Amino acid sequence: MFKGITRRWILSTMLVIFVIIAMIVTSLIYAVSFLYNKEIERTLTSVSSELAAVFDDYQTDNSTAFTTAAREYVEDFGHKEQMEVMVINSTGRIVLTSTGFSYDESESLPDFEEAKSSVSGSAFWKGTLGSGEQVESITRIITNKNGYVIGGVRYLVSVVDVNQRVILISAALILVGAAILGLIFLTGSYFIRSIVSPVRELSEAANKIAHGDFSTKIEKHKNDEIGELCDAITDMAKDLEATEQMKNDFISRVSHELRTPLTAIKGWAETMQISSQRKLDRRTFDKGMDVIIKESGRLTGIVEELLDFSRLQTGRMVLLNEKLDILAELDEVIYMLKDRAVNEGKHLIYDEPEAIFPPVYGDRNRLKQVFINIIDNALKYTPEDGVVATEVKYNAETDPENITIIVTDTGCGIPAEDLPKVKEKFYKANQKVNGSGIGLAVADEIMQLHKGTLDIESGVGVGTTVTLKLPVLLEN
């Protein structure tokens, strides 16, 4: 019935609370009983102290005279309603009681015997009479001037009423303790349920999410930490669903990207194979080989991009850093893409700075990969007769620690809602343009590995500006 958090709460918290309440109730019961008994003893002691005044000048050891004096004391005793007074002779026999009834001689008088040997000449006793009545008594010894015992006076009080009161108070204390324990249990159970039930729902929802059901809805009951956790898991499920969709779109795009060059390669290979059975003209052969080489290169680029992405995700990408001239690397990339821009009817503008820039410390091939990716994207999204401009800046006064590379295009631009996500893995804002959607994520990771930054600004219909910042190599 009770398991998990509830079981631990019962075994730890409730058990401790039960022990504490039991100790408090027991202590209170003991205190009440102790106080009542002390009050009885105090009353008996106070009343019995009168004997010191009554028998202070008692000189004779005549038993008849002692009995007469004791009788007068008993007759004048003012607490007969509260207790019984007994006069005991020197042999330990009760000769007179305030009730007027004879005392059962079979009853022992342990307090009388103890009082005779006591230094104070008195002794308390608590016990049960032969009738079953619970009593408490004090006996004081009377001695003559020579110190011989001539008798004693015993004060006897019934404690039945007192015991009943103690029992009633004890029962009340136990009931109060049980009520407090029950109240704590009820409030604690409600609190535990308010945690366990939502946690159980969260566990079930998390299990569904783990099995791919990202549409799972989690009902938020209260605006507390559990509620915040519900919101967090709901947001996580939405993000996972979006990521899953992006991953599926990515797989679809990559499959298409791979299929296109493979289809072209296979098609031209089959064409050349069939044509080889007849006389193959040189023009057809050259065209087929050009397509196969071009598409093989494209296929290699896609595979390399996927491998780079895998290395970055697993932290296995190692940079071969060296001191290098960033302008020379960028110039090589611009030269590589110049013919493509001309063939596509686009303008690739780059004015190499005349000033000498400080060197950077980085991986030559990886940085060229970033430049190729950024400029390739700019050309890809720029229409015919559009412009892609590249500019390199370095200011030793305003920003002496960084070289800034700015690539601006006049393409279609990126919508504002897509702009924060374009550097995420699998995300692709424009589905109409070929591409895997991971090139920009890889470029951003490479820039971070170089302790640089990649920032994007864009406006729909205006174009996009990508700003790269690379730290310079500070030489002593």
SS3 of the chain: CCCHHHHHHHHHHHHHHHHHHHHHHHHHHHHHHHHHHHHHHHHHHHHHCCHHHHCCCCCCCCHHHHHHHHHHHHHCCCCCCCCEEEEEECCCCEEEECCCCCCCCCCCCHHHHHHHHCCCCEEEEEEECCCCCEEEEEEEEEECCCCCEEEEEEEEEECHHHHHHHHHHHHHHHHHHHHHHHHHHHHHHHHHHHHHHHHHHHHHHHHHHHCCCCCCCCCCCCCCHHHHHHHHHHHHHHHHHHHHHHHHHHHHHHHHHHHHHHHHHHHHHHHHHHHHHCCCCHHHHHHHHHHHHHHHHHHHHHHHHHHHHHHHHHCCCCCCEEEECHHHHHHHHHHHHHHHHHHCCCEEEECCCCCCCCCEEEEHHHHHHHHHHHHHHHHHHCCCCCEEEEEEEEECCCEEEEEEEEEEECCCCCCCCCHHHCCCCCCCCCCCCCCCCCHHHHHHHHHHHCCCEEEEEEECCCEEEEEEEEEECCCC
The answer to whether residue 53 scores a pLDDT higher than 70 is no
pLDDT at 219 over 80: no
As a whole number of Å, the CA-based R_g of the chain is: 52
> Where residue 466 falls among pLDDT bands split at 50, 70, 90?
very high
What average pLDDT does the segment 389-410 reach? 91
**239-268: average pLDDT:** 75
Instruction: Return the pLDDT at 389.
Output: 94
pLDDT above 90: residue 387: yes
Q: Does residue 93 contact residue 115 with C-beta atoms inside 8 Å?
A: no
User: Which of the two residues, 195 and 81, has the higher pLDDT score?
Assistant: 81
Say which range, 76-85, 242-251, 361-370, 392-401, has the weakest mean pLDDT: 242-251
Q: Indicate the Cα dihedral angle 421, 424, 430, 433, nearest 10°.
A: 160
Q: Is the pLDDT of residue 20 over 80?
A: yes
- pLDDT at residue number 1: 45
Q: Are the C-beta atoms of 231 and 220 separated by less than 8 Å?
A: yes
pLDDT above 90 (res 403): yes
Residue 61 has pLDDT above 60, yes or no: no
Residue 331 has pLDDT above 80, yes or no: yes
Kindly state the average pLDDT of the residues 262-269: 82
The pLDDT of residue 452 is 93
Instruction: Report how far Cα 175 is from the mean position of its chain's Cα atoms.
Output: 37
Kindly tell me if the per-residue pLDDT of 163 is higher than 60. yes
Q: What is the pLDDT of residues 138-147, one digit of tens each?
A: 998 887 777 7
Mean pLDDT of 390-410: 91
The pTM assigned to this predicted structure is: 0.51
Q: Are the CB atoms for 295 and 338 separated by under 8 Å?
A: no
Instruction: Check pLDDT > 90 for residue 253.
Output: no
Residue 5 pLDDT greater than 70, yes or no: no
Q: What is the pLDDT of residue 59?
A: 52
pLDDT beyond 80 at 190 = no
Mean pLDDT of the chain: 82
Digit-coded pLDDT (tens) for 279-305? 667 777 778 888 888 888 778 877 777
pLDDT at residue 384 greater than cutoff 80:
yes
Give mean pLDDT, residues 44-54: 77
* CA dihedral (453, 454, 458, 464) positive or negative: positive
Residue 274 has pLDDT above 80, yes or no: no
Which among 239-248, 269-278, 292-301, 340-349 has the top mean pLDDT? 340-349
Is 4's pLDDT higher than 70?
no
